[in-house]
A and B are shown apart, each in its own frame.
Chain A
């Protein structure tokens, strides 16, 4: 779309599909690797349909952010490019795609970066993925001033959400919730001894989370010693064969015992715990049983120094954490609105800044001409006199321009209407290049794809 005044109107749009609109069968087919993303970016860059672009491809979403004269044409071209790459029917892709434009697209990008649109609400990995996607686009030369500013704003908002709220902080997996629970009792685990019973998937996850806390020692017990050794080598712990004596001994010395075997037989019996409690003399012990069927005898004696939790309790922790994440949504939404407002203001300023700069240049040029003429007529002026006159003439220029510049800036920012700046440029007879060949980003929303008709899933 080209306007008469030479101002090129463009729109920001995002077209894509995610876990909310497309089945996994389709998502896995259109999931793009780094080389493919680079290729798509190159194709988009070389087209006249999309001026700037960023492609975000993760296992749960494929999104193409674009800036172009027509959101419809740009998104169609982007989808066709992806369809060709992935070998997917374009119409099928379109049936599951959503399209957002203008402010709505910017807000959507920020929600994605903050994890509000993720499968696991509030997850933080997506911010890194968006940062990488932007970096890739930057390397390919697919971004310009608008997307450079937009993605800096998006990443800034995502970072704020992570640092100023607890949206991504609390554990949402059972294995990490176990670590969180142990820390709630014992505090930092640096000086603590941790025992993990089992070397399977869940035990491995828990061992890795515990290892990240850098405990004093990390013992892995398993029936197959080789597996325990492999896991211990990975997490920097020690491996032990699974035997009753070893477990009984570990219960006396350890601060945290996590069990994840689930072979239908108690690995930690009430007798073992009773003996250990006597030997520990009141030192707190956290027992976490994440196995089903349970590994720890539920009839272990109760004690003021014993904290025992099973998988149901840990799922309760996860549920509470998820609830807390949702609770933080309001604060994150406010940050997103601030981000959208800042970007919108920046866009509005872009329409005014060249005119204001040209106006100041014009004022300075006039001052230079008058000064030169004055020096020709009054050659006896000393250097100090020249400086004083120059200073006062510049003061006149600035005072004269201050009010019109201030008013035009305010009116343009408030209304988003670029004609104020254009009128100012015309009034002062500024060079046509300041008024022409400029890009104006239109701000608005017109969703029009199939998946847009689907009500957006509630975020809470």
Chain B
């Protein structure tokens, strides 16, 4: 990704630091500066992301780095869409904390990746799209769970600071996390089905014992457990949110340690 990637990460880091610093100040700095930095980061990450897309021979050639970069790009897009005031809000801070981590991860993963070659098929492209969108939904769900924990801790400790003031309500965060998890689980399930089907048609075998499939199935099972737990209890608890975070750790582990291996 080269110079553009480095530039985009510098801009992203500056935006994040500015936003966090402004949030911590007794008097906020000019929101225009923070928003401008986020716009710059957005523009640069978009350039990097589009250049990556342009270099792909097909959807199936995407790497784990591309996936991480896509999720980070979505996080910045959401921040930019939130407007000037939203850029220095705790929601943006937490979202972009996750986004920046993923963007850095993208650089590391990209450096390791060797260009894979898989027979291109529209079925595989569909599988890739579903998997990418599923992981994105999980990243958002993780961010909402993190916000839920932050706010819940403040309500318990009677700490009425700016995090308390600016985060959405526990009920809203719970609904968002639930929706994102359910969407992610649905997409991941469809991605697994299309992946298996592709294996049967191209490789003439069901990839049920392939480590990536098994770990992905485990991740899906974790999310389904969370969804069942949440639906049965009808309200969110701190334990559920911690479990959500563990679910995302499993997804990241799958991405980092298992996802790159080919069948």
Contact = CB atoms under 8 A, between A and B. Distances in A.
Contacts of A304: 237-239
Interface in A296-349: 304-305, 307, 309, 313, 316-317, 319-321, 323-324, 327-331, 334
Nearest to A316: B160
B238 to A, nearest CB: 6
A187 B170 contact: yes
A interface secondary structure, majority:
helix
Give the most central of B155, B165, B237: most A CB within 10 Å. Answer: B165
A184 interface: yes
B169 A282 contact: no
Given A321-B165, A324-B162, A324-B165, A283 B170 contact: no
A183 interface: yes
Interface residues of A, number: 32
B151 interface: yes
Contacts of A186: 169-171
Nearest to A169: B165
Interface string B21-57: 0000011101100000000000000000000000000
Nearest to B172: A187
B85 A164 contact: yes
B204 interface: no
Given A185-B169, A186-B171, A317 B27 contact: no
A140 interface: no
Interface in A262-318: 282-284, 304-305, 307, 309, 313, 316-317
Given A282-B235, A283-B234, A305-B235, A317 B160 contact: yes
A184 B85 contact: no
A320 B158 CA distance: 11
B164 interface: yes
Given A313-B158, A324-B162, A185 B28 contact: no
B171 A187 contact: yes
A187 B169 contact: yes
Interface string A158-181: 000000111000100000000000
Nearest to B29: A330
B235 A184 contact: no
Contact of B27 (A284, A305, A330): A330
B261 interface: no
B144 to A, nearest CB: 13
A331 B28 contact: yes
Most-contacted residue by chain A among B28, B162, B171, B172 (CB, 10 A): B171
A320 B164 contact: yes
Interface in B217-263: 233-235, 237-239
Contact of B155 (A170, A307, A329): A307
Given A187-B172, A330-B27, A320 B165 contact: yes
Interface of A: 164-166, 170, 183-188, 282-284, 304-305, 307, 309, 313, 316-317, 319-321, 323-324, 327-331, 334, 460
Q: Closest 9 CB pairs between A and B?
A: A187-B171, A320-B160, A187-B169, A317-B160, A187-B172, A316-B160, A330-B27, A313-B158, A184-B169
10 contacts: A164-B85, A185-B155, A185-B170, A186-B169, A187-B168, A187-B171, A283-B235, A305-B235, A313-B158, A460-B27
